[in-house]
Structure 1
Amino acid sequence: MTQASQNNAVDVFMAEALPSDSRQARQLARRQLIVEAVMAEGAIRIEDITDRFSISLMTAHRDIDELVERGLLRKTRGVVSATPTSLVESSDVYRSTRQLEEKCALAEVAASYIEPGQAIFFDDSTTVLQMARYLPSKAPLTVITNSLTVMTELKEMRDITLMGLGGQFYNWCNAFMGQMTRKEIANLQADMFFVSMSAIIDDRVFHQSAEMVETKRAMFESSEKRILLVDHTKFERRALHSFAHLDEFDVVIVNQGTPLPIIQRMKDKNVNVVVAPMKAD
Structure 2
Amino acid sequence: MKFDGDHQTSRLSRQGERQRAISEMVMAEGAVRIEQLAERFGTSQMTIHRDLDELEARGLLRKSRGVATALSSSLVESSDVFRTGQQQQEKREIAHAAVELIETGQAIFLDDSTTVLQMARLIPSHTPLTVITNVLTLINELKDTRGISLVALGGNYYNWCSSFMGGTTIEAINKIRADAFIMSTAAITDDICFFQSQATVDIKRAMFHSAAKRILLVDHTKFEKRALHALAPLSDFDVVVVDSKTKPEDISRLRSHNVHVVVADRQTGHAEDSRYG
* Structure-1-length-normalised TM-score: 0.71
Contact 1:186–1:222 under 8 Å retained in 2: yes
For the pair 1:43 / 2:31, whether they are aligned, the reply is no
Contact 1:44–1:81 under 8 Å retained in 2: no
For the pair 1:209 / 2:197, whether they are aligned, the reply is yes
| Matching of residues 74-153 of structure 1 within 5 Å | 81-82=69-70, 91-153=79-141
Aligned match of 1:253 in 241, 247, 259?
241
Question: 3-state SS of the aligned residue for 2:185?
Answer: coil
In 1, distance between residues paired with 2:223 and 2:207?
A: 23
What displacement does 1:93 show?
3.8
Contact 1:208–1:240 under 8 Å retained in 2: yes
In 1, distance between residues paired with 2:25 and 2:80?
A: 20
**Deviation sequence 1:202-221 (CA, Å, 0-9, x none):** 01110000000000100000
Question: 3-state SS of the aligned residue for 1:42?
Answer: helix
Question: 3-state SS of the aligned residue for 1:43?
Answer: helix
Moved more, 221-230 or 269-278: 269-278
Q: 1:214 to 1:263 in 2, by over 3 A?
A: same
For the pair 1:219 / 2:207, whether they are aligned, the reply is yes
In 2, distance between residues paired with 1:174 and 1:259?
A: 32
For the pair 1:267 / 2:255, whether they are aligned, the reply is yes
* 1:195 matched residue in structure 2: 183
Q: 1:279 to 1:222 in 2, by over 3 A?
A: same
Aligned match of 2:172 in 172, 184, 196?
184
* 2:155 matched residue in structure 1: 167
Contact 2:241–2:262 under 8 Å retained in 1: yes
- Alignment: residue pair count: 221
* 2:142 matched residue in structure 1: 154
Q: 1:275 to 1:11 in 2, by over 3 A?
A: farther
Considering only aligned residues, what root-mean-square deviation do their CA atoms show, in Å?
Answer: 3.2
- The AA in structure 2 aligned to 1:184 is A
In 2, distance between residues paired with 1:42 and 1:7?
A: 8
Contact 1:91–1:172 under 8 Å retained in 2: yes
- The AA in structure 2 aligned to 1:221 is H
Q: Which runs of 5+ in 2 are unaligned?
A: 1-18, 30-51, 269-277
In 1, distance between residues paired with 2:183 and 2:160?
A: 18
Q: 1:6 to 1:91 in 2, by over 3 A?
A: closer
Q: Which runs of 5+ in 1 are unaligned?
A: 14-38, 50-72
In 2, distance between residues paired with 1:149 and 1:159?
A: 19
Runs of 4+ in 1 over 4 A off after TM superposition: 5-13, 73-77, 80-83
What displacement does 1:94 show?
3.0
**Deviation sequence 1:63-107 (CA, Å, 0-9, x none):** xxxxxxxxxx66869xx8459xxxx9x943432111011111111
Identity score, percent: 53
